[in-house]
Structure 1
Amino acid sequence: MIKVTVIGDLHAEFPRLWRALRGAYLAGEDFLPSEPVQQGRFRVVLMGDLMHPKTLEHYQRLTGLDDFDPTDPTHLRMAAKAQIREMYRIKRYQEAAPEHVTILLGNHDHAAATGNFVLGNAYLEHHEFHPEHGGISMPEDLKAWLLSFPTEINLYGVNFSHVGPVPWLQSYDEMFYNGREAKEWWQHNPDYVSRMGYRFGVYGHTVMKEGIQIFDQLALIDAFDQDQYLVLYLDDDHFEVQIAHVQPLPIQ
């Protein structure tokens, strides 16, 4: 049996990531995989969307700028450099145990690496990796690393993917962004999971404001900013899933 720790959409919550990994004995103080991860007894799956903080407040925390302005090129460069530094740390962690640490390709990873789309919402656009908007280019080795991420993995019949279990939910093209299915498929077609032959599925992408949701066929886990992640215990005959919590910072 293996223990699989699955962390939802990161969105530059780097300190929270390391608290989770260390608290679950998945990483040491050196930011490298623990012995159980190295041996494959524990596995780690990050659901993607490593970069692009979700809110202006998160950008402020990332950069240390109380007046962070998403249109100011100086501020954008600070945000980009802070994310690049932390992504190199995650890269070092993943490459130290590549068979047991998997990072899935999220649409934000794809957009930042390719420059094909500017993502955001009515309140905030992510320009830090778009030089044409005042940001900077991502280093080529980081681009290659991001684009090497798989769109899905399957462990003991459980499917893990950033958005969903079918090919059209794993291709980040204009059709993906112009439709609603990427956000709503699990409401209208949860049987995609069983129709693809999986006994269960774990997905991110859609923000779970009330925390991780576990249904009959799938779990939606984009709630890492609420200190929640998922743990599964798997083998051919066993399936167990539970919600875990990031330990709070000690009171000084």
Structure 2
Amino acid sequence: MRSKFIVIGDVHADFDTLWSALRSASCMDAEGRPTMPVRSGLYQVVLIGDLVHPKNEREYARLIGQDTFDPKDPDDLFMAARAQVKALEKLHAYQQAAPHAVHIILGNHDDAVLTSEYLLGTASGLVHVEFDPARGGVLLPDHLRQWFQTFLRELRVGQVQFAHVGPLPAMTSYDDLFYADSTHKRWWHDSPEYVQMAGLEFGVYGHTQMQDGIMVNHTAGFAMVDALHAREYLEVILDTDQQPGPLSSRPVLF
């Protein structure tokens, strides 16, 4: 059976663009529900992780409908959390309508919301604390926390892997060693042979933003898809019955 996998990179609370990508790929209807190809399993949706935390203050401000965002202002934090919860509820309902065909990978930002153990931020000094009560934020609602706990560390279809960071097992555990190891942002450039070393035919990963859009390394057998900002998703055709690797893969601009 041939299936089309629509893979969307790190969302980081840019849900409007996520909805646009799903509609462009014929995976979401006007009411926000999975389309017939998704419900039938002909189309498989894979979200590669990091649903939460806008990437910068400008995106936080846009999220809450204001000109500015102050990460130290409890009101701004509450509005940022509330806006994300509303969108997460919509995404939860979407997946619940086709759980066999909508797959969500656990990103390190999603994991940080669950544990509150690590304070994540940006090089500019922005910290993501809207879901951290100890730092002025609010807890993610229990039913959404339980949903997050069902997210996959990886999805494998034959010898094709979908994961948030990279092909190695250590890249799926967001612990002290993970955050101390800078190679998690550089492996795709410095050590692309990791995919073949892991015994994979092809891998699809996020975590590192691709400024120029989705990057596909056909020689090493992987794609880096953190490119929602560039309005791109990856389309992968797999023969789930016979072929260990993809029949085709291509970035799609929407």
Cα displacement string for residues 61-114 of structure 1 (whole angstroms, at most 9, x for unaligned residues): 100011211111110000001001100110111111111100000000000121
**2:169 counterpart residue number:** 167
**1:113 counterpart residue number:** 114
- Note if 1:241 corresponds to 2:249: yes
User: Is contact 1:156-1:234 (8 Å) kept?
Assistant: no
Bigger mean CA offset, 181-190 vs 221-230: 181-190
| CA deviation after TM superposition for structure 1 residue 156, in Å | 3.5
| CA deviation after TM superposition for structure 1 residue 122, in Å | 3.0
**2:200 counterpart residue number:** 198
Structure 2 residue matching 1:81: 3-state secondary structure = helix
Q: For residues 122 and 27 of structure 1, what CA distance do their matches in structure 2 show? A: 35
Gap regions ≥5 residues in structure 1: 247-252
Cα displacement string for residues 198-230 of structure 1 (whole angstroms, at most 9, x for unaligned residues): 101000001111211110211111111110110
User: Which TM-score applies when normalising by structure 2?
Assistant: 0.94
Gap regions ≥5 residues in structure 2: none
For 1:56-135, list aligned pairs within 5 A.
56-123=57-124, 124-135=126-137
Structure 2 residue matching 1:208: 3-state secondary structure = coil
Aligned counterpart for 2:153 among listed residues 131, 151, 161: 151
Q: For residues 241 and 156 of structure 1, what CA distance do their matches in structure 2 show? A: 15
User: Is contact 2:55-2:122 (8 Å) kept?
Assistant: no
Q: For residues 122 and 131 of structure 1, what CA distance do their matches in structure 2 show? A: 23
Aligned counterpart for 2:184 among listed residues 156, 179, 182: 182
Q: For residues 233 and 68 of structure 2, what CA distance do their matches in structure 1 show? A: 31
User: Is contact 2:57-2:68 (8 Å) kept?
Assistant: no
Q: For residues 190 and 17 of structure 2, what CA distance do their matches in structure 1 show? A: 33
Structure 2 residue matching 1:91: 3-state secondary structure = helix
- Give the number of aligned pairs: 246
The residue type equivalent to 2:34 in the other structure is: P
Structural RMSD (CA): 1.1
**1:138 counterpart residue number:** 140
For 1:13-92, list aligned pairs within 5 A.
13-92=14-93
Structure 2 residue matching 1:222: 3-state secondary structure = coil
Structure 2 residue matching 1:205: 3-state secondary structure = coil
Structure 2 residue matching 1:116: 3-state secondary structure = coil
| CA deviation after TM superposition for structure 1 residue 29, in Å | 1.3
Question: What percentage of residue pairs aligned between the two structures are identical?
Answer: 44
User: Which TM-score applies when normalising by structure 1?
Assistant: 0.95
Q: For residues 56 and 68 of structure 2, what CA distance do their matches in structure 1 show? A: 13
Q: For residues 162 and 23 of structure 1, what CA distance do their matches in structure 2 show? A: 23
Cα displacement string for residues 176-198 of structure 1 (whole angstroms, at most 9, x for unaligned residues): 01111210112232222112221
Runs of 4+ in 1 over 6 A off after TM superposition: none
- Note if 1:219 corresponds to 2:223: yes
Q: For residues 62 and 102 of structure 2, what CA distance do their matches in structure 1 show? A: 27
The residue type equivalent to 1:138 in the other structure is: L
Q: For residues 225 and 62 of structure 2, what CA distance do their matches in structure 1 show? A: 23
Structure 1 residue matching 2:80: 3-state secondary structure = helix
